[in-house]
Chains A and B, each alone.
Chain A
């Protein structure tokens, strides 16, 4: 299998990006094909590479990029089952997003720069997936970060986009600095930055202090995959256009962290402590984000918190030593979460608002965007993890892995001794995974019911017919112009087609895990069949979650239809270009389920305020101190020496009185002084 193909996969979108940037301003018409074709071709190439590689094979090839005086940095490729699986996912999602964006941002003047950045992002993601050298991986890693910064800041007219982009880049950069130190430690101990050398060194036990390395790498992963301590940037990143959220903040970039840990799992298996830390991190992320998702009013923020939660799942699987389950869940989650975001995009596009309570008061929303409605339903079912769809299988794989780790025989599939994974990690992951399954079912159901099926929307056709969208009062339900009513306009084909393409893997991909010669053969060969106990408990918890949400929703709608206004909650809605809506929550089961937790959950448990108090304010104080230090202390030294010279000059001039006798007396005094000095 010649090396041209894998080398071409990351190169093509990069060249496409350059071409789009170059030609974008002069002939916007050309920008669309230049955006879609390279990404699509590279997706196909990724598939070809995957097929050529076949199952259970590892390909390593490298050429020196540069000497450094120490360990060399090389352009290396490390292809195995994981890389081909994820590269195909990335190719698929990226192509869908590019196609989807042509319609979504049809009338946006800055489309060429947007498309170029998405292509550059895809190239960077391919580089991370294929790269065999840690430093080159870091290059792809940070280029992804800067592309997400620019894309989040696409609508730089709005204040939210401006602050969200800055916050996203700084939080990920905060994670990347320890990540770099982790790479240094690995490079120094293994003598080279090549991943195969690092893995061999881990195998021979030549790594000096694995726990420190693992923790440093975890910091980077937490930053990039929005895990507990550094997750605050992802919900705000929803200020970017929805296709960006779909591509970057659902399927690819956030998955890079998990992919890296999967790649370097032997290093992590060397230290039990790191695995426990990973498990605790995953648990807190899962539960916290699920609770927050239950309380959000913005459709995209619900999905963002859901992504954070699902990434917690994958991290939990890794904490229990089974990277197969984690990647299996990663791929299936990538598919259905991308689908959810794109469908959400359609709904937001049609409803001109992000807030689900405002959507709930739009009559007949279901009718207007049927495709989005059905695909969203499928995706939500996959998210909840009910049997037929892929979500069920991948979630069960994670639960089985946790269960095995809990009773001591972790499914490390030959990467390390089963005993390497402490049972505590297994128990933490198992319990939190169960609880999150229930909460996930709850918020998914809440989302679906409130958005599409709230009675107020259906029961108030009469209140419709309000004038055009421009001047409608903040809390009046928005009613569409006549032409937007029929589905053909609300859902242009370019938006509809990708939904169904992504729906296929959402439904079918789960089965691929059943047969041992399909997916497991591609990966490490461990079985991915869910064990009976976890299957039953998992699904049971999911069903209970749905029922709870349904019950709470029924009660809430019953109360509203009798005229009892639900307690008004003027929530701040970071809306997109849609109408500002400080809306009244009509019938929200979340409030009933969460009770007292509803307020804090809505604002992400105050983590943002904590961080600004912990980090931002001390840095600003330090900056003011430095400015004072620079102006007062260093300056006084310099100015002082200048003034010293001036003072001496003034004294010398004063001595120059012009009187000859003063000169003579000074002269003789000097002579006497010298004579005494010498003679004595």
Chain B
């Protein structure tokens, strides 16, 4: 089998994963799409290992490790999602924005930073 097939498949899998991460609203589905991305990488590694006919089989060794890492991550991910759900009552990723930078206060609280300058203009002017 020519190398192109698994690599193209892996690429497709990876892009589906990326789409899932960015578009899905529910956190669990985001986790699943991350898993997709990791598995796409595993496929890649195994394909390259076979293609290189590496005596040390470094590719496959790394795939094993990646699988264990993915498992660990999903365990933790789900624990965090559970915590978020219990605390916030929703698993919607768009609602978890409490920690963003507080809005710009209309009046600057401390003394107006008038006259302060980073002199970027000065350095480049």
Contact = CB atoms under 8 A, between A and B. Distances in A.
Given A658-B97, A658-B100, A664 B21 contact: yes
Interface stretch (B41-49, B61-69, B113-121): B113-121
A659 B97 contact: yes
B52 interface: no
Nearest to B101: A656
B16 to A, nearest CB: 14
A665 B22 contact: yes
Interface residues of B, number: 25
Interface string A643-680: 11110001001001111110011001000000000000
Given A650-B104, A665-B22, A660 B118 contact: no
B118 A644 contact: yes
B117 A642 contact: yes
Contacts of A660: 93, 96
A641 B21 contact: no
Interface in B92-125: 93-94, 96-101, 104, 113-123, 125
B28 interface: no
Contacts of A659: 93-94, 96-97, 100
Contact of B121 (A640, A656, A664, A668): A640
Given A637-B125, A657-B100, A644 B21 contact: no
A641 B22 contact: no
A642 B115 contact: yes
A640 B98 CA distance: 34
Interface in B24-82: 30
B97 A641 contact: no
B121 A644 contact: yes
B99 A658 contact: yes
A639 interface: yes
Contacts of B7: none
B51 to A, nearest CB: 20
A639 B119 CA distance: 8
B121 A661 contact: no
Contacts of B94: 659, 661
A638 interface: yes
Given A660-B93, A661-B22, A664-B21, A641 B100 contact: no
B93 to A, nearest CB: 6
Contacts of A644: 118, 120-121
B93 A653 contact: no
Nearest to B97: A658
Contacts of A637: 121-122, 125
Contact of B122 (A641, A656, A661): A641
Contacts of A665: 22
B18 interface: yes
B103 to A, nearest CB: 9
B45 to A, nearest CB: 19
Contacts of A645: 117-118, 120
Given A657-B97, A659-B97, A668-B21, 8 more contacts: A638-B119, A639-B114, A641-B119, A644-B120, A653-B101, A658-B96, A661-B30, A668-B22
Interface of B: 18, 21-22, 30, 93-94, 96-101, 104, 113-123, 125
3 shortest interchain CB distances as A-B pairs:
A658-B100, A642-B117, A658-B97
25 contacts: A637-B122, A639-B114, A639-B117, A640-B117, A641-B117, A641-B119, A642-B114, A642-B119, A643-B117, A644-B118, A645-B117, A645-B118, A646-B113, A657-B97, A657-B100, A658-B97, A658-B98, A658-B100, A659-B93, A659-B97, A661-B22, A661-B93, A664-B22, A668-B18, A668-B21
Interface of A: 637-646, 650, 653, 656-661, 664-665, 668
